[in-house]
Structure 1
């Protein structure tokens, strides 16, 4: 683990390096969208409920189309799937930016969700298949940090641009969103350089693939348990994460620039924390790392709900985001290791389905609760859901990881 990340990246496959560049430009656009879209909709006169529905459609579409995306990914290959994902994300952002009316808003949300589904489902198995075993955990951490750092830049620059451009506020939002939507198309250019051999099956039976996914769940209790934990975390995150900018603006009184700055610094600290994850995993193991860090994040969730000072809230946001999200590389690598190569896209799809569908329902609940019952209550509910998920994850998978380590040691002796 003394080897530098720069040295590791140089030794990784050209496919991975192309993907990291594509991911950077993709999440640059997504980061800007995360800061501005909710505020853009509210500036156009829509309330928290419409924002909640927009987010719910995006998340539900991401989840419900994840299984078909996984099947198509297995058929068409990662390169095709990743490119199509970025294309639909960019089109979704542009549609929202230049067309008015609820139909355009919700269609944009659908296209955005479709793109996220295809892109997000393809990424974990792509990394698992293209990274050498000794660099696999680091590859997931590098990808995570690239995503976070790119998100940070999108958060910060878009928030600043929306305030300093010399037009009226709605046009400022439109110009900014257009620029960052185009960055997702730039990502496609890097994906073109990926080289892969697609299976190219002559017959393609969607029903048979669906049966294969069902059998994957039925024959392995660990997959069911993993999906339960992932779904609970998704429900908790959906209550608060998509509406963080609304929370900061209406509950703490933050400006658009402050919101962009807070979210960008949060992404930066999370990106740095993600690079530390492999070192913690080396000492604690994947399951204990996920458990310990997620438990530590809960008190900071409570602090966000209770505090009213913008600076103290910002610090709590930074720490909570870092602790909770730096566990993702360890959890993803652990998850992909539970199944064989042919089932990784399917498992990735199942994980995205339960997470996104859970978020789609809870973001509706979060929008309703914030509009009618107050801004703090969703945070308390999320604390409870996170605690339940963490305890279940540890109880179910600590022995699984020990058995896998014991098996590897036995094979090496």
Structure 2
């Protein structure tokens, strides 16, 4: 099995990835919207709060890339854990709107340090022939973490509601898992970085170096990533709210449905190497994105628990199946020393437009209907797929080099 052949750095990074995605994406990103709704805030404020986290991820990615270049991966990832944990605790410890928005931003800044490190760290620590498999395993582990977080968060929340209010039960769950987040420092601290002498680079000089990256096909790739990000921002962060208040169900069932959806994503992630080999990496992305559209339409017109669960499962699986491929393709577009910069731009472009999508999605849900954002997401997904086809589908990744 390839896992036995991986070095210690990759194994420790995998363990850390599982923990941080269980806490941040599995618990906080899933149930933060419900927590704010239970606290009396409207969908518009929920959208602004979630967008603060995502916008912070986007804007902090460039700074994270700069810090990684000067200090290395380990110190920056551990610093990110601290910021993420403090922000997560602050988010549920107050009902002051300004403090909630600040805490959401702090959490996003910390999480960006891990996200920006991810692609470049994996590329640096694995041989070329194993990269697609390693990216796929990392993707699967992230989603297994999300599964565990959504399922456990929902279950524990409903159990605590027997003796506490819905708001108090969610607050206790968040504080419990935020504490768990700090255990992420243990595996990351065991990583051994390459013994290279780092030459200090000024921030201004480092920002100028982005000119080497932002050109040619890379620009087109970032436009594609931004388009998909905006479409996702309209609906994905509101899935838990949509399920709970459209179907009138408990947190446990919300967590179960979203866990089942993530199971498909995790299982699909393990199939990526096979699909990429049989169909081709570029065709796999295009096919999966197109096939997800009918299930997105089905979610917009819910017809009971069973149908909507299947629709969530298929949409999430198909739309996320391509992530390790897209991440791998993006890292191949530039030289090794430029990968942290492109990784930060990948994070920046996708999360910046996702944050804007969250604001728009929250507004549409509050002012129009819970279904309205889905219609716009369909348009953006189709547009993004067409852009990807123009970039990769007609010539393959051999033509994407910006050099």
Q: Which residue matches 1:133?
A: 128
The answer to whether the 8 Å contact 1:54/1:106 transfers is yes
Unpaired runs of 5+ in structure 1?
A: 1-6, 406-413
RMSD between superposed Cα atoms in Å? 1.5
Q: Secondary structure at the match of 1:319?
A: helix
Q: Which residue matches 1:21?
A: 15
The answer to whether the 8 Å contact 1:75/1:198 transfers is no
- Deviation of 1:202 after TM superposition, in Å, equals 4.5
Trace 1:125-204 onto structure 2 (pairs within 5 A): 125-165=120-160, 166-197=163-194, 199-204=196-201
Corresponding position: 1:229 with 2:224: yes
Q: Secondary structure at the match of 2:190?
A: coil
Unpaired runs of 5+ in structure 2?
A: none
Structure 1 range deviating more: 177-186 or 223-232: 177-186
Alpha-carbon separation, structure 2, partners of 1:263 and 1:84: 30
Q: How many residues align?
A: 397
The answer to whether the 8 Å contact 2:268/2:321 transfers is yes
Corresponding position: 1:257 with 2:252: yes
Alpha-carbon separation, structure 2, partners of 1:235 and 1:361: 7
Trace 1:77-96 onto structure 2 (pairs within 5 A): 77-96=72-91
Corresponding position: 1:8 with 2:5: no
Q: Secondary structure at the match of 1:45?
A: coil
TM-score (norm 2): 0.95
Q: Which residue matches 1:267?
A: 262
The answer to whether the 8 Å contact 1:35/1:159 transfers is no
Alpha-carbon separation, structure 1, partners of 2:225 and 2:156: 36
- Deviation of 1:147 after TM superposition, in Å, equals 0.5
Q: Deviations over 1:337-366 (max 9, x none)?
A: 111110111001001111111011110000
Q: Deviations over 1:1-53 (max 9, x none)?
A: xxxxxx11110111000001111111111111122211111111111111111
Trace 1:306-317 onto structure 2 (pairs within 5 A): 306-317=301-312
Alpha-carbon separation, structure 1, partners of 2:293 and 2:135: 24
Q: Deviations over 1:127-186 (max 9, x none)?
A: 111111121101101011000001100000010101102323222112211111122111
TM-score (norm 1): 0.93
Q: Deviations over 1:318-377 (max 9, x none)?
A: 100000101001111111011111011100100111111101111000000011111112
Alpha-carbon separation, structure 2, partners of 1:46 and 1:88: 25
Q: Which residue matches 2:205?
A: 208
Trace 1:257-406 onto structure 2 (pairs within 5 A): 257-401=252-396, 403=398
